[in-house]
Every structure is written in C-alpha cells, then in structure tokens.
A and B are shown apart, each in its own frame.
Chain A
C-alpha cells in the first residue's frame, strides 16, 4: 500500500496558485471521465487527489482485481480501467495535483470558488466537481488506547522531513514498502530503530527486505515479530510501546511511533464546506448532479439521490449530465449544440482523431 509522502513533488511542478474552469476533487474513474465530458465542451480541468497517482479506489484497492460490470468491458481490472480512462482523457491535457487534499472551499466575490489544499496550493475555479468516492484515503489509526493524543507529536503516519526524526527512539510497525522504506531512511538518524511486524514475512520489495535484514544482522535495526498492545507516555509525549511477541510482552523505549497499517477512506474536509449532507453523502438533483451550493457538483459514490447505485457506470452518466450544466456556468452565452463524437468534425478534432 502506498504511503502519503508530502515530500514528493506533485505533477504540477509545485504550482502554488492555479486558475482554471473546473476543479475536480478526486482522480478516481468518475473524476477522470469527467475530464472527458468537460473537455468535449471546451472546459479545462485541474484534478486534485490525496493519493500519489490516479485511479482512486480502483488503483488503490482493486488494481489487479477484475470488474465485471463496466459497460462494453466484460472483464477489466481496476488498473486497466484507470489506464484506459487516462488514455481517453489525454487529448484534453488535464493537470493533476497528487498528494494534495482540498481542505478549504469558499466563494469569491466574483462567484468563483477558492480551493486551498493541505499542501498550501490555491485553486480558483468557476465550477467545482466533487468526485471524492468513499472519501480521502487516510492512514488507518491502530486501535491502541490513547493513540489520538500522541498523533502529530509522537505518532506519525508519514514523515515530511527526515531531520525531525534525528535522535529519536523510533518504532516502526508494518511489513510493506512504507514500513521498510522508512526503516531504511530513518536508521541513519535514529538513536534506536525497532521494526515490528506480526510475522517474519514481508510484503515489501525484496531488495528492501534484504537491506533491512542486513541492518538487523549488523545490530543497527532491531526486528521484533509481534504486535503493539499499549502505549506509555504523558502530555502527548510517548516514552515506550509494549510489544507482545511469542516470548511474552516487552516494553520498548519509543519517542516516535510510525504505524503503517494501510489506508482507509474518510469523508474528511468535504464535511466542512456547508454542503447539505445525508449520512456522509452529498444529495444532488438528477438533472445536473448539483449539490445544495450552485456551481458545486457531486458525482460518483460520494453523491446520493433516489435510486442511486454506487456503480462506476452511474458515475460516468452523472459526469455527462454534470458537464452540460457546468458548460452553462462557464460559458453562459455560448450557443449549445449537442453533437455526437461519431459524426461531429469539431469534436473529433478536439479528440485528435481526424
């Protein structure tokens, strides 16, 4: 599973301020197809996603798993579907901002929307499309008593700057690439580093595992096979973690704990933007898929309406209708002529096929 590493550059080359027609929140299948429908109507898009790559749930949860209910594709894996959609939207040159989560959304005096990300990026757009699916992928919090009180001070789910870990007694929990990569990256600066995993078998890349085993053999990293059970500390500062192994329980000195238990989806900041919500979903009308705020649309799993089905194909349909409504907002005076991609020379020119 991927780690959310804010030190990786976004593909927009660290742009801090962006203006565009449509800001799409979420680069899953619905957000991606929205680029196509909006592109056919000459609307330029910027797409923001908290993951480090496009595909949403399809790429994060189901990349190798077959999907059987995408129209015209009897069987397609999550990753294949993502790749095909990326190919389909290529002619419209969408700009992606990965490793960013939109935290704040407000309306400007001129009616446009200001979106601010947790990485400090500002987007100004005339239309916002929320295609957030099940919510932002956030690291799973281990159900250890009191852990919330240590988050940000002694418990971390990612590391922005390696220097901040210097001199700490670090405990890393996990067996995948995130856990192993951080073990290798932090060992040189740590006072002590203990890697904890429930079994002596690692999902991470073999050469990372090899390097870890070498560090363990050299006495530079300690490997404990077991599971964390309790935290000790006070005032937000951790002092030790109890690890239960086959030999019993051991209290391991720890001033920084990095748990890597994968990602889960949380509604996140969407809940704070003043939109009507119904059981953590955004109600929309079925003509335009607009939310309770004019100019803000919601498509895909994140929305709800009578008869809603959480199917990819439903999100595709919703994107098409949303695009028509979005066009009226961005180009209010444009004469709307409905065209077919099979016959329209102007659409085909946009797609680069003629």
Chain B
C-alpha cells in the first residue's frame, strides 16, 4: 500500500482516507462511471476494518464458497493457515461433521472440490487416500477438507458438500 501511495505521490494516510471514502462504492463519485472491476473487487471484498486505520487491505484472508446439495451457497472469509474444515466449523457450515477434529482419522469432512480449483488444492497424500476409502460416493475432486490448507493460492475456492457424511 505504501508503494502504491508513493507511486501516485500522495501520503499513505491520504490514500487511506481516499480509499475509505470509496468503501463499498462501485461507481466514481464524481463522474459516476463504473469503477474498473479489479478496483470494485478490492473495495468490496478486501476491506476489513481495523482499530488503528479505518481501512486495511487484508492480505491473509481467503474466500471459500461452500455449496450445499440443494444448491444453497455460503461464501466465507477464512484466515490463511487454517484448514478448509476449520473454516467450515468457524462459520457453522452444515454437512461437515469432522468427528475426529481434523486428525485425518474419520472421513466425515468429505467435500467435492470444484474442477477449477483441483490443480491449486492438489491431490490427497497417501494417508488421506487411505481415509477416503471410508467416505461414501467418492468422486474425482473428493477431498477430506481437514487436509486442505488455506492459502491465497486457492482464493475463491468452491467446494460442494455431499448429501451425507458416512
């Protein structure tokens, strides 16, 4: 952010104030033309209030969308470093049991990773493959989400929750 402020030759504090006033905006306040999508996204999704500065880009949060069997979708902000299962539990996502608490010992945090994110999330390790033997209706993209670590590389992750956990 400081580099950006320097690049446009205003003080970081002023840049922040300026961005603050743009929070949640989709159009330019002066000429009403639509702001570029990238800017809109930053203003809408990356804002997080902080006690010291009114506006702060959160660089260590990642968006994850959970889709239920009936199609209902919930999108949550999850902190990098947590597992997808932990994010599900923190946000009370239905259908993910995680009976063993994330130890890769039960297969009840089974999810289907959307095709677009399979490369980024990677394939299960041997221990997870062994436990997937105990999941029901295992398909391409099946993962135990206690084994998927959240990083910005998987930002926007979409997973589908199965109809039942075994």
Contacts and interface: CB of A to CB of B under 8 A. Distances in A.
Given A143-B136, A199-B129, A203-B130, A61 B106 contact: yes
A227 interface: yes
Contacts of A197: 133
A264 B99 CA distance: 9
Contacts of A227: 136-138
B103 A174 contact: no
Interface centre among B103, B105, B129 (most CB of A within 10 A): B105
A182 interface: no
Interface string B103-142: 1011100000000000000000000011011101110000
A140 B138 contact: no
Contacts of B100: 61
B166 interface: yes
B164 interface: yes
A261 interface: yes
A62 interface: yes
Interface in A186-234: 197-199, 201, 203, 227
A261 B129 contact: no
A142 interface: yes
Contact of A203 (B106, B133, B138, B166): B133
A227 B110 CA distance: 16
A262 B107 CA distance: 10
B105 A65 contact: yes
Interface centre among B99, B130, B133, B136 (most CB of A within 10 A): B133
Contacts of A203: 130, 133
Given A143-B164, A199-B129, A61 B103 contact: yes
Nearest to A176: B133
Interface residues of B, number: 16
A176 to B, nearest CB: 7
A68 to B, nearest CB: 12
Contact of B129 (A62, A201, A264): A201
A310 to B, nearest CB: 10
Interface residues of A, number: 19
A72 B29 CA distance: 63
A261 B110 CA distance: 14
Interface string A259-287: 00110100000000000000000000000
Given A175-B133, A227-B137, A262-B134, A143 B105 contact: no
B103 A62 contact: yes
Contacts of B132: 198
B130 A142 contact: no
A201 B124 CA distance: 14
A62 B99 CA distance: 13
Given A61-B100, A143-B164, A143-B166, A261 B105 contact: no
A182 to B, nearest CB: 16
A262 B132 CA distance: 11
Contact of A62 (B105, B133, B134, B166): B105
Interface string A111-145: 00000000000000000000000000000101100
Contacts of A140: 134, 166
Contacts of B129: 199, 201
Nearest to B108: A264
Contacts of A176: 133
Contacts of B107: 262
Nearest to A265: B99
Interface string A1-23: 10000000000000000000000
A65 B100 CA distance: 12
Contacts of A1: 134
Contacts of B103: 61-62, 65
Contacts of B166: 140, 142-143, 261
A145 to B, nearest CB: 11
Interface in B78-108: 99-100, 103, 105-107
Nearest to B162: A143
5 contacts: A143-B166, A198-B133, A203-B133, A261-B133, A261-B166
Interface of A: 1, 61-62, 65, 140, 142-143, 174-176, 197-199, 201, 203, 227, 261-262, 264
In the A-B complex, the 4 residue pairs with the smallest Cβ-Cβ separation, listed nearest first, are: A262-B134, A61-B105, A203-B130, A175-B133
